[in-house]
Structure 1
Amino acid sequence: MKRSELAVFDAEDVRDLLDYPSCIGVVREAMKALSRGETRQLLRTMIHMGEGRTFAQMPGALSDDGMFGAKMISVFAEPDNPGVRRHRGLVTMFEPVEGKPVCVADAEEITHIRTAAATAVATQALARSDSRVLLLMGTGGQVHSHLQAMPLVRDFERILIWGRDERKVGAVIEDWSSRLPVEPAGEAEAAVGEADVICTLTGARSPILLGEWLQPGTHVNIVGSSGPGPVEVDSALVAVSRFIADSRASALDAAAEFLVARAAGLVGDDHIVAEIGEVLLGLVPGRRNDREITAYKSLGHAVQDLAAAAHIYTSHTKRNSI
């Protein structure tokens, strides 16, 4: 039997080939390419199969003559823990010369890494340079990936961990206390008042972060909700912030917090002042002063997953050609 030319990367392979510093660079370039109009992608499609069960497809191309492919993923609530959702699936990549599929990679691990990398890219571009206190709201898988990525872009002196379950907060602290200055956040409002940078990383159905709690100069990354419905922050936060998205088209379609604020008449479509790629390209200013509240809405996009998978495949090919 002819040996298959299709490379398969499981979760361990993804972690080995896609380190956080590299992924931050990959995502940065992907978002710039998106805002330049070089990439091709469709809005994600979702098939809902009952409460807490979704199948999503995200096709795209890195450029007209670059690699292309699709991410296919199931987002299912864990039966014994309904507030926690697992993202399981595959990213399949094709090469651009003959159109052959060349690799399949574990989508859950790519999602963990590239989501935190995208938050880090936005934080580097939008947070105050003197930001020293980071608040991570959530105790699931994304808190661990963000603890890997966020210290790469700012020198945080304190990292506060907030969650509804004190035992889970304690478990995160125990995992990371030997490596980073992590501590329990305590009450959310008080922790928000201390934070320079905040990341919401939950499956919350209603706001866990209110605009009235924020201090001037705070930067907020809104990460947990990836479709219409669940909101992690309230409409007051959306309205008061300089609001930047990873993709304007996707935000107008699926950014839950923005859509709720718009439906309430608090903001219009022009409240999305830029895509993060436009900020990175210098086309639109991000933070304009040290007192401005900035917000980045992360939905996650095919080009991020495809760029990460292309990096994995390229790294694997180089490693095996030596």
Structure 2
Amino acid sequence: MAHDFSADRKLLPQCTADQIHALLNWDALAAALTEAFLAPPAVPTRHAHALMAPGASEPANDVLLLMPAWNAQHIGIKLVTVLPEAAKHGGHTVDASYLLLDRLTGAPRLLLDGESLTVRRTAATSAVAARALARPDADTLLVVGTGRLAAWMARAHVALRPTLRRVLVWGRRRESAEQLADTLRAEWLGAEWLDAGSTITVQAIDSLEQGCSEAQIISCATTASEPVVRGAWLTPGTHIDLVGAFTPAMREVDDEAVLRAVLVVDDYAAALREAGDVLQPLANGTIARDHLQADLREVLQGVHPGRRHADDITMFKSVGHALEDLAAASLVFDRLASQ
């Protein structure tokens, strides 16, 4: 029986993390994201508000982020809280919810778990970018980082690129890298979507430099404040995916890596406001503004060719775009409505 989204507003349907992961299969999500980038919805600048107590004079560490977007059918807004002390009260440092409203009436339609929506759309967007920018014969993926997002980056890249047959995992703690490798290996053993007789090798590694030299796609999902990947380690033809660093003070790659790469971002304004991997080499003169060659929309539309030569090093810097949330939430809504 289809969901009744016209029911009493007090009974706003909610979509859990498990439902979101079940409804957003990688192929359908990639198609929805590609469509959104080709014909982008209205996406205002995200807002960040310091949650200062009334009358307080000191800057607040607590932050509320608002990420709105809308198209002809829906209005969506992601509400993100960053509360460093939340764990003391049983919460998470970063938490998120996504509210989807009807574009014509303004009525709330669906409340979605924000974290699952975010990790799913972030990973799928990077895989979409890699399909456009990485070499078509890429068979080895290196995942740098072992946090909550890292596993989803691996899942999306492998699901959306059939040529990948080897996944390397590096983390600052070998134990964490081994745990992530074990998790992925167990998931992919005999997976139905794999070609008959095909397997995917998953291996935790100690040498990040060696991993960078062996992988054709490198996906960084860390919270590093200093570069972990060096440009000198990159071989011609590599594609680098940067999703972890999300403030001007954070970096995952050094100046040489940025200088050597064809640099593409998900959103110009956000990258030039928040991405330390872009802002720091701009500030120190390593690159000029025109080194930031395209956003993902321009690559998908063919306005910019992305990779011109097999030996090009390409780099996709993802800061996070509200159109990705709206595309994913809209797809969840449509699939629930058809059940």
Gap change, CA 1:164 and 1:51, over 3 Å in 2: farther
Match of 2:18 among 9, 12, 36: 12
Correspondences of 1:43-58 after superposition (within 5 Å): 43-48=45-50, 53-58=62-67
Does residue 126 (structure 1) correspond to residue 133 (structure 2)? The answer is yes
Give the corresponding residue for 2:176. 168
Q: Distance in 2 between matches of 1:183 and 1:169?
A: 9
Q: TM-score, normalised by structure 2?
A: 0.86
Query: Out of 127, 135, 138, which is 2:142 matched to?
Result: 135
The aligned residue for residue 272 of structure 1 is 292
CA offset at residue 53 of structure 1?
4.6
**Counterparts of 2:45 and 2:260, CA distance in 1:** 27
1:291 & 1:253 partners in 2: Cα distance? 30
8 A contact 1:200–1:222 mirrored in 2 = yes
Q: Measure, in 1, the Cα distance between the counterparts of 2:296 and 2:267.
A: 8
Query: What residue ranges of structure 1 are gaps of 5+ in the alignment?
Result: none
Gap runs ≥5 in structure 2 = 1-6, 52-58, 189-199
**Alignment length, in residue pairs?**
309
Deviation at 1:3, TM superposition (A): 6.8
Paired residues for 1:22-41 under 5 Å: 22-34=28-40, 39-41=41-43
* 1:111 corresponds to: 118
Provide the rounded CA distance (Å) in 1 between the counterparts of 2:93 and 2:167: 25
Distance 1:51 1:138, change over 3 A: farther
User: 1:83-94 alignment to 2 at 5 Å?
Assistant: 87-94=94-101
CA distance in structure 2 between the partners assigned to 1:240 and 1:25 by the alignment: 30
Please identify the structure whose Cα radius of gyration is greater.
2
Asked if 1 retains the 8 angstrom alpha-carbon contact of 2:127 and 2:157, the reply is: yes
Quote how far apart the aligned CAs of 1:165 are.
0.5
Which position in structure 1 is the counterpart of 2:157?
Answer: 150
Taking every aligned residue pair, what percent have the same amino acid on both sides?
Answer: 31
In the alignment, the residues of structure 2 paired with residue 260 and residue 198 of structure 1 have an alpha-carbon distance, to the nearest angstrom, of 21
Q: Structure 1 216/78 Cα, relative in aligned 2: closer, same or farther at 3 Å?
A: farther
* Closer, same or farther: CA 3–304 of 1 in aligned 2, 3 Å: closer
SS of match in other structure, 2:149: helix
Q: CA RMSD in A?
A: 2.0
> Residue 316 of structure 2 corresponds to which residue in structure 1?
296
Q: Give the secondary-structure state (helix, strand or coil) at the position aligned to 2:126.
A: helix
Amino acid at match of 2:66: Q
**How much does 1:5 deviate?**
5.6
* Conserved? CA contact 2:237–2:312, under 8 Å: yes
